[in-house]
Amino acid sequence: MGNDSYEIRKLIGKALFFILVAVLCLVYVSPFLVMFFTSFKTNSDAFTIPVKLFPREWVWENYPAAMSAIPYFKYMGNTIYITLLSVIGQLIVTPMVAYSLSKIDWKGSKIISGLLMATMMIPITVTMVPLYRIYSKLGLTNTYVPLILPTFLGKAFYIILTRQFFMGLPNSLIEAAKIDGANEFQRYTKVALPLTKPILTTVGIYAFLDAWSDYLMPMIFISKPEKYTLSLGLQQFMSEYSVDWARLMAAAMVFVVPVIICFAIFQKNFVRGIATSGLKA
């Protein structure tokens, strides 16, 4: 009898849990659904009351229309170019600096480690005006240098992540290589670097997402439409006059899909990498 009511309570608890999970899933997925379905509606369908999630009539026209309203593939190309270089930059520099801060015993490592967190806290808006002025004096506005160069100089957050990772690696391997006569550079490339694959995956993913969706920096530094990124291109659908919602959603879909594909491919690394990234701070 008592056992029965326990069973029932457990069952109800389980049911409630699943309802909660189902509702939450719906909540988290719904903006995608809205984006997806609206992109297949005509504008008048999107604006018809009562609002329906599904298109009354599926139309494909928004996609070609959105992609010809702005030079879509050009912007896509620009974005890919910037993203690729940014990821490469971060992947080269981050482990190097992190190695110096964790595996080389020198005075600067402590100082720099302290400064890393501090630089993370400087808001971009604080340095925005002077940076803008430097780049414009050097004639580098309207080039991708202001967007890419910083990625070759390391980003504090990634360095901190990687440094933590290195600190978790035993020194004995590197010491052994040292005894074998390997110099610092060899020790780094032959011993340390091959071990960093998991953390570099994480850094690469973060760097990819950052560069792909960056908006403020391209907005400030790029003024010629032919050099726009997709973020800026998307903004063009919101003109002063009217917003073409159905096309905007189609354009957003095409912007988002590469990220989702990338996510689908790297999902395991993604989840594992990010999950472990915040553990030891």
Q: Is 66 in the site for other proteins (CB under 8 A)?
A: no
Choose between 8 and 92: whose C-beta lies nearer to other proteins.
92
- Rounded Cα distance, 130 and 268, in Å: 41
With CB under 8 A as the contact rule, the residue among 4, 5, 118, 181 that binds other proteins is: 118
* Choices 3-11, 56-64, 167-175, 211-219 (CB under 8 A): range interacting with other proteins: 211-219
With CB under 8 A as the contact rule, the residue among 199, 207, 234, 250 that binds other proteins is: 234
- How many residues touch other proteins (CB under 8 A)? 128
* Choices 4-12, 21-29, 55-63, 169-177 (CB under 8 A): range interacting with other proteins: 21-29
* Rounded least distance, CB 28 to other proteins, Å: 5
Q: Is 67 in the site for other proteins (CB under 8 A)?
A: no
Choose between 50 and 58: whose C-beta lies nearer to other proteins.
50
DSSP 123-154: -HHHHHHHHHHHHHHTT-TTSSHHHHGGGGG-
- Rounded Cα distance, 252 and 231, in Å: 9
Backbone angles phi, psi at 241, to 5 degrees: -85, -65
Q: Is 203 in the site for other proteins (CB under 8 A)?
A: no
* Choices 1-9, 55-63, 124-132, 169-177 (CB under 8 A): range interacting with other proteins: 124-132
Give 132: exposed, middle or buried? Use CB within 10 Å, 0-12, 13-18, 19+.
middle
Show contacts with other proteins in window 163-202 (CB under 8 A).
184-185, 188-190, 193-194
Choose between 8 and 271: whose C-beta lies nearer to other proteins.
271
With CB under 8 A as the contact rule, the residue among 97, 161, 174, 199 that binds other proteins is: 97
Choose between 1 and 279: whose C-beta lies nearer to other proteins.
279
C-alpha distances (whole Å) from 62 to each of 12, 33, 38, 194, 220 are 46, 16, 10, 46, 29
With CB under 8 A as the contact rule, the residue among 177, 207, 220, 250 that binds other proteins is: 220
With CB under 8 A as the contact rule, the residue among 121, 170, 179, 181 that binds other proteins is: 121
- Rounded Cα distance, 158 and 207, in Å: 9
Are 63 and 254 in contact, with CB atoms under 8 Å apart?
Answer: yes
Q: Is 239 in the site for other proteins (CB under 8 A)?
A: yes
Q: Is 269 in the site for other proteins (CB under 8 A)?
A: no
Q: Is 223 in the site for other proteins (CB under 8 A)?
A: yes
Structure tokens at 262: 């990338």
Strand partners, 243: 238
C-alpha distances (whole Å) from 186 to each of 152, 182, 194, 262, 268 are 21, 6, 12, 33, 31
| 76: enclosing H helix or E strand | helix 72-103
With CB under 8 A as the contact rule, the residue among 149, 169, 182, 195 that binds other proteins is: 149
